[in-house]
Amino acid sequence: MALSTIVNTVGMGMFLSTGTIFLIRSAGLSPTATGLGLTVGSLAGFGAGVLIGDQADRRGSREVVIASMLLEAVASVGLLLVHRLWPLLIVAALAAVGRAGTVSARGAMIGALAEEGKGAQLRTYLRAVTNVGLAIGTLGAAVVLAIDTRPAYVTMILIDTVTFLIAAGILARLPHIPPTRPVKQDDSEEKAPRWVALRDLRYLGLTAASSVASLQYFVLIQALPVWIVLHTAAPRWMAPIVLFFEAAIVAAAQIPATKSIDGPRSAARLLALSGPLFVVAWILMAVAAGPAAWVAVALLLAGVIIHSLAEVWQAAGTFELSFALAKPEAQGQYQGVIGLGHGFSEAVAPIVVIAMCVDWGKPGWIVLALVVAVAGFVCAVMERVGSRPQTLATTEAVPNE
């Protein structure tokens, strides 16, 4: 799973850094059409993760993950045919469905494969690997942007497509993972509600709060580079450098910074603590507008370091709660539900973070930081709401980025 993850995220890192620019400079779409196509396409895949995650529970997660990755590969290579809005809508929708399916079914696979007592460690390790792959992909993207030709962008798209195929092929080496909720059930099981995750109010509360808290990912990707270029005296090359710097810090800190997580209670504690760190980090980034270049660079780097630690805590805490608060026999369905919230966050993030951080300016950074901090605290509160479930360490013993 680690090998598959790093291969997949190298391609992802390249595309995240250059995909929008490819559509504008190489495919010939306007910025408005590009934004509209990506947003509407993403919303077209909204909810697919729940349906596909349920299939992972009922038919086996390995095969569903592989099928979802193959769909992502088709969508990736399909970008080469995009020169108008309508083809982009179709390709973006296919990519959104594939991505949602990969995330939810992969969550079910992690739940099934994690050794007893080591579920949190496995997810944390895979997230560290994810950031290594993203960092490598970012460096490749820098090369593509420096060349800035159609052949360079086409090569990037083809590399991204191949990484999906290789990652799926690597996962095919795993043995079949038995379904946790087989299609054929006895009479008593058939009477039980099928969509258990959608009836779990506590989990829906966690999903809603985590979708707001996850806006922090897009602040660094979408708002900070624009803020650096338009509002600070820092050199423009700092924009990609801070993203690489953040990915490297998260990759190095993910495992040691989350060793204290041994169940949902400790995960909730780190989630609550991550909020104040985001506030401090984003205040530093906000006040980087105004001072001399060297002061701005120092403030930005300090803010990114603190943000990275907060991100590590928030991500690890959310991962643990998303599994620990779910019913073990329906992990795919539950991961689809929490992915639904993250998908909504991803769809609205460009509007929210640009409006708050770039258009509103320094007050917007602080207000958004407070909103994210409160959302993280609500996620932590969800751990105490209702009856205490078994921890992931005990529920995952049955036959994780």
Question: Is position 378 within any domain?
Answer: yes
Task: Evaluate if residue 301 carries a pLDDT over 90.
Answer: yes
Residue with tokens 């990652």: 167
Residue range of the domain that includes 279: 197-395
Specify the pLDDT at position 191. Answer: 54
- pLDDT band (50, 70, 90) for residue 394: very low
Specify the pLDDT at position 29. Answer: 84
- pLDDT band (50, 70, 90) for residue 51: confident
Render pLDDT for 7-32 as a digit per residue (tens, 0 to 9).
999 999 888 778 877 888 888 888 77
Of 147, 177, 207, which residue constitutes the final position of a domain?
A: 177
Highest mean pLDDT out of 105-114, 153-162, 256-265: 153-162
CB 64 within 8 A of CB 55: yes
* Residues contacting 124, CB < 8 A, separation 6+: 254, 255, 258, 261, 316, 319
Question: Is position 122 within any domain?
Answer: yes
Task: Evaluate if residue 396 carries a pLDDT over 60.
Answer: no
Q: What are phi and psi of 195, to 5 degrees?
A: -90, 70
Question: Is position 290 within any domain?
Answer: yes
Please count the residues of the chain.
401
Question: Is position 166 within any domain?
Answer: yes
Residue 124's CATH number: 1.20.1250.20
Specify the pLDDT at position 193. Answer: 63
User: Which stretch of 185-189, 204-208, 261-265, 312-316 has the lowest confidence by average pLDDT?
Assistant: 185-189
Question: Is position 161 within any domain?
Answer: yes
Question: Is position 360 within any domain?
Answer: yes
Highest mean pLDDT out of 180-194, 235-249, 272-286, 330-344: 272-286
Q: What does DSSP assign to residue 99?
A: H
Which one, of 395, 40, 334, lies nearest residue 210 by Cα?
A: 334
Render pLDDT for 167-216 as a digit per residue (tens, 0 to 9).
999 999 988 888 877 665 444 444 556 678 788 889 999 999 999 999 99
CB atoms within 10 A of CB 277: 21
Do 81 and 153 belong together in one domain?
yes
* Residues contacting 354, CB < 8 A, separation 6+: 222, 223, 226
Of 146, 177, 208, which residue constitutes the final position of a domain?
A: 177
CB 210 within 8 A of CB 314: no
3-class DSSP assignment, residue 235: coil
Render pLDDT for 365-380 as a digit per residue (tens, 0 to 9).
999 999 999 999 999 9
Q: What does DSSP assign to residue 81?
A: G
pTM: 0.74
DSSP secondary structure string, 327-370? -GGGHHHHHHHHHHHHHHHHHHHHHHHIIIIIIS-HHHHHHHHH
Do 7 and 127 belong together in one domain?
yes
Do 144 and 225 belong together in one domain?
no
What's the total number of domains in the chain?
Answer: 2
Question: Is position 204 within any domain?
Answer: yes
Task: Evaluate if residue 46 carries a pLDDT over 90.
Answer: no
Specify the pLDDT at position 215. Answer: 93
Do 219 and 351 belong together in one domain?
yes
Specify the pLDDT at position 80. Answer: 94
Average pLDDT over residues 30-46: 77
Specify the pLDDT at position 362. Answer: 93
CB 1 within 8 A of CB 400: yes
Q: What is the largest CA-CA distance in the chain?
A: 72
Do 335 and 390 belong together in one domain?
yes
